[in-house]
Amino acid sequence: MVDTLLLASAQKTIGYVIAVILLVAFVVAILVNIRRSRPEIGSEIELAPNRKPGMDDEELETKKLDRTLGLGLVALAAIALALPLYWLAEPGRQEGMVDRFEEIAINRGEELYVNGAQCAGCHGPLGIGGVASYTLTNPETGAYVDQVQWKAPALDTVMYRYTPDQVKYILNYGRGYSPMPAWGAPGGGPLTEQEIDEIIAYLVSIQLPAAESQAAVQKQLDISCAADAKGNCTVPGGKYATLGEAVFNLGYSDGFAGGAYSCGRCHTPGWSFGRAGKAGGGAMGPNLTGGSELKQFPLASQQESFVSAYPKAGTAYGTFGWSSGRMGSFGTNPNATDPKTAIMSPEQVMLTPAQIAAVVAYERSL
C-alpha cells in the first residue's frame, strides 16, 4: 500500500509543481505586458504607420472566420470524445487499482508466510502441511516428558473448512496446547491486524483446485483402505477396517497433508504426534465414544449435516451442542455460500458426501 500512497503523492506533487509554474508564468506575462505597453503611451501617431493593416471584411468574414470556427470545432470534438473515453476507462482503472491492492497484500502475506513469521517452517511451502518439533511436558508437574513431531495441518485447503474470521481467530490466539503460537496482538503475538489480513489474503491465493484436492484424498484412501461397495477396506493386512476409520485417520502414519483432512487430529488424544490413544477419545475436540453421538444426534443424517456444514459460532446443534467455531466444515465450503461475495467455489470441499457418511457411521460405532 505504501507504493500506491507514494504514487498518489508523487502525482499530487507533480500537479502542484505544474500549478505553481503556470501561476508564476501568468504573473510574469502580465508584468511583461504592462512594461512593454508603457513606452507606447502617447506614441500612437508615430507608431500607427508601422502597424500592419488589418484584414479587410472580405477576408475576415470568410477565410479567417472559417479557420477559427474549424479550429473550435476540432477542439470541441476532442473534448467531447476525450471526456466519455476517460469516463469509460475510469471503472477499469479503479478495478485495476483494487486488483493491485489485492496483489500487494498477497505478496506481503507470502513474505510473512515464508520469512517474517516462518509459517512455512511448520506448515510447509505453499501450505502443503508439515511437522513441528514440540516438547511434551507432564501437565501436573511441568516436567519434561519427550520431544515429539507434531503434525502441522496443510493450509492449502484451510479456506475449504474455515471462514476468514475463523482463520483470523486461530492466527490471533494460536492453539495453546500445541506448537501453534499466537500471532496476533489480541493473543499477545507479534503481528499487526493488517499483517494477519495479508497472510489470510495469501492463504486464499494458494488454495488447491477442487479436483486436485479430491484426487489426492482418493489416492490416499485407495492406498490405506481401497473400500469395497459396502465401505469395508480390502487392503490385505491394512490398518483400517472401514472407509470411515480410514477417513477419520487420514494422514496418521504417512503425514498426508499434515492430517488436515482427518478428524483424529482433534478428537483422538496423541494423534497429532503419532501416539494415538483411544480413537475418538477426545482431545481439543470432544470425546465421541461410548454412544455420545447417538445422544447428541439421534439421526445419523443430523450428524452428517453437522460435520458437512459446521454451524456458525454461537449457534446450537444436536440435542445439547453449542458451536464454538473451532472445528470447521468438511462437506461444504463456508466461503462459497453467497455467490456475490464468495471467495471460493462450492466444489472446494474437504470430503465427499460418501466419505462424510462413512466417517459419521464410524463415529457412531465408537
- The answer to whether 260 and 153 are in contact (CB under 8 A) is yes
Applying CB under 6 A, does 217 fall inside the site for ligand HEC? no
Neighbours of 67 (CB within 10 A): 10
Applying CB under 6 A, does 186 fall inside the site for ligand HEC? no
Instruction: Quote the crossing angle between the two packed helices 300-308 and 353-364, to the nearest 10°.
Output: 120
Applying CB under 6 A, does 352 fall inside the site for ligand HEC? no
Query: Which residues, 192 to 211, sit near ligand HEC by CB under 6 A?
Result: 199
Nearer to ligand HEC, 118 or 135 (CB): 118
Strand, coil or helix: 143: coil
Q: Encode 332-349 in three state secondary structure.
A: CCCCCCCCCCCCCCCCCC
Q: How far is the CB of 143 from ligand HEC (least distance, A)?
A: 22
Cell numbers for 314, please give them: 454461537
- The answer to whether 178 and 150 are in contact (CB under 8 A) is yes
In angstroms, the first-to-last Cα distance of the chain is 52
Nearer to ligand HEC, 150 or 336 (CB): 150
Query: According to CB under 6 A, which one of 263, 279, 349, 366 is a site residue for ligand HEC?
Result: 263
Applying CB under 6 A, does 265 fall inside the site for ligand HEC? yes
Print the binding letters for residues 321-350 with ligand HEC: x by CB under 6 A, - otherwise: x-xx-xx--x--------------------
Cell numbers for 20, please give them: 505553481
Nearer to ligand HEC, 287 or 345 (CB): 287
Q: Using the 8-state DSSP alphabet, how is residue 137 labeled? A: E
Question: Which is nearest to 358 in space by CA: 261, 222, 247, 268?
Answer: 247
Task: Return the H-helix or E-strand segment holding 75.
Answer: helix 65-111
Print the binding letters for residues 49-68 with ligand HEC: x by CB under 6 A, - otherwise: --------------------
Applying CB under 6 A, does 303 fall inside the site for ligand HEC? yes
Nearer to ligand HEC, 171 or 336 (CB): 171
Query: Which residues, 69 to 128, sit near ligand HEC by CB under 6 A?
Result: 117-119, 121-123
| Residue the block writes with cell 506614441 | 43
Enumerate binding residues for ligand HEC (CB under 6 A).
117-119, 121-123, 132, 150, 152-153, 155, 158, 167, 170-171, 175, 178-180, 183, 199, 260, 263, 265-267, 272, 284-286, 288, 292-293, 296, 303, 306-307, 318, 321, 323-324, 326-327, 330, 359, 363
